[in-house]
Chain A
Amino acid sequence: MKKLTTFLATALVAGGLSAGAQAHRAWVLPMSTVLSSEDPWVTFDAAISNDIFYADYHPLRTRDLQATGPDGESVELHNASTGKYRSTFDLNLKTPGTYKVFLAQAGLTARWEDENGERRFWPGRGEAPDPARFASEVPMDATNLLITRSSRRIETFVTAGEPDSAALAPTNVGFELVPVTHPNDLYAGESASFRFLMDGEPAVGAEVSILPAGMRYRNAQEEITLTTDADGLVAVGWPGAGRYFLEASYADDRAQPPASGRRGSYAATFEVLPL
């Protein structure tokens, strides 16, 4: 439990679980996704912005990011630095295989009305939640109390040599993407299949949106919208080579008490190559 508590506390610090719509998109963008050299390095940008991959709003803090290597072990982020609009960091791909860089948060959130009819939230806006204090800080008899088990993930993938799948294994906690098509084996003119899970079970009816990069140079978003099927699957036909931002969201009312609902958001950056 100690381990889980620490994970939750760390994860929730980013404040991504606080209530409210997220108009802006958080993304992590690798400069390369497919590498052939011995012992390669990849540099990344991480930011929050409206137009994807243009860092012009807020940096995404690197302290919330982690990386997993081909052996399933945690990998260090090097040279992390945060500027006005973006963070940057490097990853050393010492072992051939696939690496996942991610931000993962999961825990309880609550909202209610106090005796004056004012809306209250837990965790409060900008506050670091301490799961141990949930019971003492959330009044269980409050008016219109809504407790939700929330999760949020932001991911991207890079591969040295042959793609493999150890780093892609789901945690079975919260809302996750499990690649059926390998995320570093995406090619224009082909279709890719991804499965979404909520707490390890297929996330049925999740809404998925895919945006091609480069909105600055066109007039329409050219968003692709999909819904996961009965197996939690979506098939994505890439309209062309380039970088893509995928966003997905899921909600249901099948949570363990004290929560009454589950809610998950997922985002990932993919690179589709021409053949």
Chain B
Amino acid sequence: MSRISSITVLLAMTIASVPAGARELSLEIEVPRLQVAEYHRPYLAIWVARTDNSVAQHLSVLYDLDMENQEGEKWLKDMRQWWRRGGRKLDMPVDGVSGATIGPGVHRLDFSTQVADLAPGEYRLMVEASREVGGREVLAIPFQWPPRKAAMPRAAGGAELGTLVLHLGP
């Protein structure tokens, strides 16, 4: 996607989906298409971390929600950093946080409502991916909340994550 068209899409989405005056925090996340013999969709944890690594807000945990007897929870611990920082304190599933896994491609996840009450300060958006019979990767995008102006900080994954673009709107 070219820069111009992504700005156009961003503007269109901002105008279409975010009420006037509301701040925006949404994430464009690329789940890479991998040429492997046995592919499973990654488990993904997305959270807002304070500068001391503590969890300010759990945003999304995408895993095998529909397995019998909550069997899909068995691998939540493999998102080791998320598990350690606060995942292990949660009684999954959590409404508004738990979701089904997403496949290869670019997805846009809007967390504007979830971060609306976040105290002003410095944060990092954390994204951790772990894939069955695959690898694990964590990426962090620092940001300030509330954003003073529109910005699109990004991070590039190396294996289990593709490009991440954080969309911030004042």
Interface residues, chain A, with chain B CB atoms under 8 Å away: 34-38, 40, 161-163, 185, 187, 273-275
Contacts and interface: CB of A to CB of B under 8 A. Distances in A.
Contacts, number: 35
Nearest to B76: A36
Interface stretch (B23-31, B81-89, B113-121): B81-89
Contact of B73 (A37, A163, A273): A37
A275 B81 contact: yes
A38 B73 contact: yes
Contacts of A274: 80
A273 B88 contact: no
Contact of B88 (A38, A161, A187, A275): A161
Contact of B83 (A36, A37, A40): A36
A36 B80 contact: no
Given A37-B70, A38-B73, A162 B84 contact: no
A161 B86 CA distance: 10
8 tightest Cβ-Cβ pairs between the two chains A and B: A37-B74, A36-B77, A36-B76, A37-B73, A38-B70, A162-B88, A162-B89, A34-B77
Nearest to A273: B80
Interface string B70-111: 110111110011011001110000000000000000000000
Given A161-B88, A162-B88, A162-B89, A35 B77 contact: yes
B84 A38 contact: no
B75 A36 contact: yes
